[in-house]
Amino acid sequence: MIKVVAKSYVMEGKFEEYMNLCKKLVEKTREEEGCIKYEVYQDEKCSTVLTIIEEWESREALDKHMVSEHFKRIVPILGKFRAKQSDVNVYNKVI
């Protein structure tokens, strides 16, 4: 199992636009084969900080997601609404 934790920093005044696109990405991604979980969390202290927590059956499923039509279409647009680059960490389950 693979887990991805991606922290995004949304520009002030762009949160609603960002979330509208993010919802589309989440809906499409949850339909993908190999996607176990794909959830978005908002930071309690800073409302413009979001964390996406993903779980995938395999690295292959994650790799396929990253070249999917919706990923390649939506993620670059989301990048235009970020105050800075996202922090992304990928983990392999060991226990």
Report the percent of the chain where pLDDT is more than 70: 100
CA distances from 18 to 3, 9, 49 (A): 23, 10, 11
34-47: per-residue pLDDT in tens? Answer: 999 999 999 999 99
- Collapsing DSSP to helix, strand or coil, 31 comes out as coil
From 49, 33, 30, select the one nearest 41 (Cα to Cα). 49
Q: What is the CATH number of the domain that holds 51?
A: 3.30.70.100
Number of structural domains found in the chain: 1
pLDDT of residue 78: 98
Domain of 6, in residue numbers:
2-92
What are the residues facing 89 on neighbouring strands?
5
Cβ(83)–Cβ(14) under 8 Å? no
55-80: per-residue pLDDT in tens? Answer: 999 999 999 999 999 999 999 999 99
pLDDT of residue 86: 97
> Residue 34: left if φ>0, alpha if ψ -120 to 50, beta else—which one?
left
Instruction: Provide the whole-model pTM.
Output: 0.92
